[in-house]
């Protein structure tokens, strides 16, 4: 079937000519490497009782093989925008080779 890609072809899904972009992963042990990821920053409404607030929740999406060793305290630099993010937790695998990493912007406030 033409145009159909399976999860085994994650490299095709992470095409920089489409939605993907380069990011530099800066680990606490001093190592750095550049990987291709999808950056996402959804806008969320937060409710706590009568209080309503708005916030964003930045995150990286990519191959578990690229993101699997990220830990809280590591940083990520998006080359396209120059934005720097702190990694909030370990990569969350989905069982298909894909992972999501929660981030917090170091260039903005916490979003509240």
Establish if 77 belongs to a structural domain.
yes
- In the chain the beta strands, taken as DSSP E runs, fall at 21-26, 32-40, 43-48, 51-56, 59-63, 75-78, 84-87, 92-93, 98-105
Please give the tally of structural domains in the chain. 1
Q: Give the residue from 64, 58, 38 showing the smallest Cα distance to 102.
A: 58
Confidence of residue 7 (pLDDT cuts 50, 70, 90): low
Domain membership of residue 40 as a residue range: 17-105
**Percentage of the chain modeled with pLDDT above 90:** 56
Size (the chain), residues: 112
Establish if 4 belongs to a structural domain.
no
Residue with the bigger pLDDT between 86 and 106: it is: 86
Reported as a single tens digit per residue, the pLDDT across 23-68 is: 999 999 999 999 999 999 877 777 778 887 777 789 999 999 999 9
Measure the CA–CA gap between 95 and 87, rounded to whole angstroms: 21
CATH number for position 35: 2.40.10.270
pLDDT at 5: 46
Q: Using alpha carbons, list the distances in angstroms from residue 107 to 30, 96, 103, 110.
A: 21, 32, 12, 10
pLDDT at 104: 94
Establish if 1 belongs to a structural domain.
no
pTM value surpassing 0.85: no
Query: Residue 13 forms beta bridges with which residues?
Result: none
Confidence of residue 2 (pLDDT cuts 50, 70, 90): very low
Establish if 111 belongs to a structural domain.
no
Q: How many helices (H) and strands (E) does the chain have?
A: 2, 9
pLDDT at 17: 82
Establish if 11 belongs to a structural domain.
no
């Amino acid at each position: 079937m033409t145009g159909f890609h399976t999860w085994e072809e994650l490299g095709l899904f992470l095409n920089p000519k489409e939605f993907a972009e380069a990011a530099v992963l800066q680990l606490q042990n001093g190592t750095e490497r550049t990987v291709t990821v999808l950056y996402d920053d959804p806008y969320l409404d937060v409710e706590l009782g009568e209080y309503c607030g708005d916030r964003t929740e930045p995150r990286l999406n990519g191959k578990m093989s690229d993101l699997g060793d990220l830990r809280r305290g590591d940083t990520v630099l998006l080359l396209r925008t120059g934005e720097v993010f702190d990694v909030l937790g370990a990569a969350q695998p989905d069982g298909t080779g894909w992972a999501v990493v929660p981030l917090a912007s170091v260039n903005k406030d916490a979003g509240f």
